[in-house]
Amino acid sequence: MGALPAEPWCIREQALDPARAFLHETLFALGNGYIGMRGTHEDFGTVADGTLEGTYLNGFYENEPIHYPENAYGLARTNEFMLNVPNAKRVALFVEGEAFDPAAGRMLAYERVLDVRTGVLERRIDWESASGKQVRIVSRRLVSFARKHVAAVEYAVTALNFSGQVRIESFVDSAVTNLLAGDDPRVGSAVTGPSLEVVQRDVDDAQVLVLQRTRNSGFLLATATHTTVVGGAFVERRGEGQAFEAQLAQGATVTLCKVIAYVSSRDVAEDDVASHALNELKHASSAMFAALAAEQSAYLADFWRQADVEIVGDDALQQGVRFNQYHLLQSAGRDGKTNIAAKGVTGEGYEGHYFWDTEIYIFPFLLFTKPEIARALLQYRYHGLPKARERARAMSHEQGALYPWRTIAGEECSAYFPAGTAQYHINADVAYSVRLYLEATGDFDFIAQYGAEIVLETARIWLGIGSYDMQGRFCLNAVTGPDEYTAIVNNNYYTNAMARMHMRFAVQVAERLRAERPADYARVAAAIDLRGDELAALTAACDSMRLPYDDTLGIHAQDDSFLSKKPWDFANTPKDKYPLLLHFHPLVIYRHQVCKQADVVLALLLLSDEFTLDDKKRDFDFYERVTTHDSSLSSCIFSIIAAEVGYRDKAYEYFMETARLDLDNTHANTEYGVHTAAMAGTWLGVAYGFAGMRLSNGTLRFAPTLPAQWQRYRFKVHVRGALLDVVVDAHGAMYTLAEGDELAFTHHGREVKLSKTQPAQRMGDAA
């Protein structure tokens, strides 16, 4: 059986295919930024070996000590990993005493659809039991965007060719465990056995409440359900649930509605966990499924009004783009305490950890489509400052804050420091997102309240690790850049260039705050004990920053040693030896001139104004030859720079590698969760790539091109209180001010001004 059919607004499974079940559990996953439910079925177990029943709560984790056979000072000590929490959507169906099981009896019809406009997963099955009784089962499921703690299931059974008894059991499965990673560090965790211990269990005729505590992190979790049935009646309690029965005439239907609530002591005070869950349940269950579905549809209608990317000319691509945007919305924490895991809330890959992927790849998509979520993600970094300060002290920095490479609650969780802790650029990545937020929103209140402390505390680290060489150049030694195939080098170009941006921005923020809001400046300076000479030291380091460049090749060297290494023998590396990290010792890879992902090429995008077009072309040509793209973060960046330098075919090829990466499972590991950074890279490829959008130094720019494969494309961006609608076709671009009073920007260098009196303007030159 092949891939899912290409439809613009949904993904549709038309047959139950055991070989694709594990993958489809990820693709059909639902979430709301807090709850995540994999696309397993409510009423039967997994249909193939190796699949995964999973429900997750963003930011809810267990921890355990990291054990090193050979220890060293300052290594990460504690791992945090996202937990698989109780499966509360479970039901069991019995038709005249025969259990519904697709492996028994006969499947007469099957279809499952996730419509991203409604946010409801619907499945229809016609099934015949071994004795010949036929039923139609229609289930609908949602995880509410309007209610953080709530999910719901509607389960309807119709007797097709008989009259008789139908029994539905609704229950909570609290005996859950996590997936073991095995030899692949991208897959799951190393924990064995259950991590949740039941401390209380209450079951009545309609309601279930299970309280559990994590063994090590000490969090309390409440899982609660409220179940009602129309066309049937309660008959008995069954374990952690209830049983309902109906005597159905032929053609009649019994419908079960189960509302689910999850609340933990990471969300509310421990004493309030149970009552909060029951209160959420009370309000949501009174609404019933139809009302919850209406809320869901209304939320998504508003989201798509602001965020939809429309592509005319390729249905498969259109499907991929919207699927990616929907999963990003499902993955993004929005409470200021949670972030976006590398796999969202769809699987246990990378143990549910947050990376710098959020700031550099995902943040722009949310900033320009749902700026309120982007703001909350920066608040998460603000709340992480205490842990980042602790990490800085462990790394022998007397002041400042050092953000972790991978984490959930702020601890550095990477046990492999060469490709983890050594990635100091994360501090600059966070500062970059703060700067971009300010550029896009003009929200200096946020800077005063949160952003200044983030930027200044993290900027101090550069003075802590940097030093001046004999030529007076400011150097950053023993760091790792974005490219994980090149570790612990001196003067990684990306790191140094981003550090320079970071320090300059820190000085600008401090000076503006001191000039415009002296009280806020005094508060921040006192809070972090900012010394009078620190701003001058930051400026001096910027002015003297070492940025490796090779005059012979005319390229920016990835670091001081990269160009002296032996080039990797790509011609004699079989396809089954990729990704390299699974087939070669790290030292073998580190000794070669080979990149896992965009590094210098990423700097070309983020610091675009610092390079000429010729610089970008030479750098792209060189680094394309030595990059494997083993990382899902890579292709989208190469696509954007290829578009900018005029490599239109390459730009499109790289873009397509990103756009359907998960739907087509091109990295062969989507079953363990989606690739959120690559999903965001699809949006970047349209806006930053083909539309040439850049925002820097107060100027918004577009330089749109139209891929030959498309008839037109359309997207919208929030900028400085305005919502700009951009349509690009063969005749040029149409810019429309959908919301706001006015907006000025450039189109291929020509100024465009929109206002309420002139809200739209067509510009030619879409090459």
Neighbours of 510 (CB within 10 A): 21
pLDDT band at 191 (very low <50, low <70, confident <90, very high): low
Q: How far is it, in rounded angstroms, from Cα 258 to Cα 152?
A: 6
The fold of the 10-306 domain, in CATH, is Beta-galactosidase; Chain A, domain 5 (2.70.98)
Domain ranges of the chain: 10-306, 308-714
pLDDT band at 63 (very low <50, low <70, confident <90, very high): very high
Q: Given 1.10.10.10, 1.50.10.10, 3.40.50.11540, 3.30.565.10, which CATH number is that of 308-714?
A: 1.50.10.10
pLDDT digits (tens, 9 = 90+) for 721-737: 999 999 999 999 999 99
Q: Helix, strand or coil for residue 323?
A: helix
pLDDT band at 20 (very low <50, low <70, confident <90, very high): very high
Q: Please, is 664 exposed, middle or buried when counting C-beta atoms within 10 Å of its C-beta (0-12, 13-18, 19+)?
A: middle
Q: What is the pLDDT of residue 1?
A: 41
pLDDT digits (tens, 9 = 90+) for 637-688: 999 999 999 999 999 999 999 999 999 999 999 999 999 999 999 999 999 9
For the segment 542-561, the average pLDDT, to the nearest whole number, is 98
For the segment 294-318, the average pLDDT, to the nearest whole number, is 96
Q: What is the pLDDT of residue 195?
A: 84
pLDDT digits (tens, 9 = 90+) for 617-634: 999 999 999 999 999 999
The alpha-helical segments, DSSP class H, found in 544-674 are 586-590, 600-606, 613-625, 635-645, 648-659
Active-site pick, 80, 154, 484, 624: 484
Supply the pTM of this predicted model: 0.95
pLDDT band at 571 (very low <50, low <70, confident <90, very high): very high
In this predicted structure, the answer to whether residue 188 has a pLDDT above a threshold of 90 is no
For the segment 588-616, the average pLDDT, to the nearest whole number, is 98
β strands within 422-565, DSSP E: 466-468, 474-476
Q: Which range among 35-39, 45-49, 168-172 shows the weakest confidence by mean pLDDT?
A: 45-49
| Residue that wins the pLDDT comparison between 180 and 562 | 562
In this predicted structure, the answer to whether residue 595 has a pLDDT above a threshold of 90 is yes
Q: How far is it, in rounded angstroms, from Cα 286 to Cα 206?
A: 13
Residue 560 marked as a ligand binder: no
Q: What DSSP letter does each residue of 170-214 carry, written as one string?
A: EE-B----PPB-TT-TTT-B---S--EEEEEEEE-SSEEEEEEEE
Beta bridge partners, 214, equal 196
Residues with Cβ within 8 Å of 258's Cβ and at least 6 positions away in sequence, in order, are: 88, 89, 91, 152, 153, 154, 155, 170, 225, 226, 227
Numbers of helices and strands, H then E, in the chain: 19, 32
Q: Element (H or E) spanning 427, and its range?
A: helix 425-441
Q: How far is it, in rounded angstroms, from Cα 759 to Cα 746?
A: 15
Q: To the nearest whole number, what is the mean pLDDT of the chain?
A: 95
In this predicted structure, the answer to whether residue 423 has a pLDDT above a threshold of 60 is yes
For the segment 21-39, the average pLDDT, to the nearest whole number, is 97
pLDDT digits (tens, 9 = 90+) for 495-539: 999 999 999 999 999 999 999 999 999 999 999 999 989 999 999
For the segment 10-18, the average pLDDT, to the nearest whole number, is 94
Q: What is the pLDDT of residue 698?
A: 86
HEC string for 547-569:
CCCECCCCECCCCCCHHHCEECC
Q: What is the pLDDT of residue 286?
A: 85
Residue 710 marked as a ligand binder: no
For the segment 188-192, the average pLDDT, to the nearest whole number, is 54
Residue 756 marked as a ligand binder: no
pLDDT digits (tens, 9 = 90+) for 447-485: 999 999 999 999 999 999 999 999 999 999 999 999 999
Q: What is the pLDDT of residue 439?
A: 97
Residue 597 marked as a ligand binder: yes
% of residues, the chain, pLDDT over 70: 97
Rounded to a whole number of angstroms, the CA Rg of the chain reads 27
Q: What residue type is 3 in one-letter code?
A: A
For the segment 165-170, the average pLDDT, to the nearest whole number, is 98
In this predicted structure, the answer to whether residue 157 has a pLDDT above a threshold of 60 is yes
For the segment 60-82, the average pLDDT, to the nearest whole number, is 94
Residue among 477, 479, 615 at smallest CA distance from 546: 477
Is residue 484 flagged as an active site residue?
A: yes
Do 158 and 252 form a contact (C-beta atoms < 8 A)? yes
Q: What is the pLDDT of residue 176?
A: 84
